[in-house]
Amino acid sequence: MAYDALVLVSFGGPERPEDVLPFLQNVTRGRGVPPERLAEVAEHYLHFGGVSPINQQCRDLLAAIREDFAANGVDLPVYWGNRNWDPMLADTVAQMRDDGVTRALAFVTSAYGGYSSCRQYQEDIASARAAVGPDAPLIEKLRQFWDHPGFVEPHADAVRAALAQLDPAKRGSTRLVFTAHSIPVSAAATAGPHGGRYTAQMEETARLVHAAAAPDLPYDLVWQSRSGPPQVPWLEPDINDHLTSLAEQGVTGVVVSPIGFVSDHLEVVWDLDTEALETAKQLGLDFVRAGTPGTDPRFVAMVRELVAERTAPDGERLRRRLGELPAWDTCPALCCVPAARRP
């Protein structure tokens, strides 16, 4: 099937102090978040001058994708639109229409299934197209990529590099801690067509990165960045509570790998590099945060591979380096083509 563009779809973030509260109001619109909570979160952004790293990271990824496409003969223009801040997705879709784009693929900067990480982006795309009108290009979201080597391998290398910063004599009391964005327990239970997709995919990514990077070390999957009313159960344990538990168990050092994220945006540099690091210092734990894929060439090449999967004449996924060719397994939104569960 022919496509004539790719659009990078991301969350968006403020780029100056006066953007912060309007941005947060966009993020939380309709969710009944009290003003005092918005003010608290705004301080996280203001700690970094009111600038979220995510937009520049998207610009860097956009440039890397364009360079990779050009070097590998992929003749697709690449656009960029956000859910919550400029460039807004509807404006981007309007530009695509004006440029003559009729059918495009969307690469979303979220690797996993679930409402906020996948289905909501489908809704964003549909809303943007509706806002543009009947001449808006058709836009199809590329599949989730939580177990793709182009995502797993950069995370694994980052864990190895982080471990190299810790005292090798203390390896026996070192632990790997994988983190991802917490979501309500009810949302986790209903993620995907059969429920539990978000947590199952996260567990698989943790297993793959652990096996590739440090199979001799114990590891845990924990959660971060919780928000919402305190009476609503969210996935636990929180990274800070878990660090306290590890210190009580005699762990002396941790490598924290944010496998839930593709780049070092605010929820990494605040929740981990600031809050979790401070917790570790108070507990006397050696703490190193592993990097994220960002613009790693393997991650960038993965985008091209996902495009090739979707555009292959037979409609089948390309064989991946792990030697697997699973059947298509689409969710009700037709946005997911996950790998078969490994034993």
Binding residues are: 52, 121, 181, 267
What 3-state class would DSSP assign to 222? strand
Q: Is 100 left (phi over 0), alpha (psi -120 to 50) or beta?
A: left
Annotated binding site for Fe-coproporphyrin III: 52, 121
Residue 284: how many other CB atoms lie within 10 Å: 8
Strands 78-82 vs 5-10: parallel, antiparallel or unpaired: parallel
Tokens of 19: 């953007």
Q: Please give the DSSP secondary-structure letter assigned to residue 294.
A: T
Cα(216)–Cα(211) distance, integer angstroms: 9
Which ranges in the chain belong to alpha helices (H)? 20-28, 35-46, 54-71, 89-98, 120-132, 149-163, 185-189, 197-213, 239-248, 266-269, 277-283, 297-311
Residue 166: how many other CB atoms lie within 10 Å: 17
Report how far apart, in Å, the C-alpha atoms of 152 and of each of 157, 321, 330, 338 are: 9, 12, 22, 14
Annotated binding site for Fe(2+): 181, 267
Tokens of 330: 């689409």
Per-state percent for the chain, helix, strand, coil, to nearest 5: 45, 15, 40
Which among 190, 7, 224, 209 is positioned nearest to 113, based on CA atoms?
Answer: 190
Tokens of 327: 């059947």
| CA-only gyration radius of the chain, Å | 20
Query: What type of residue is 174?
Result: T
User: Angle, nearest 10°, between helix axes 297-311 and 54-71?
Assistant: 60
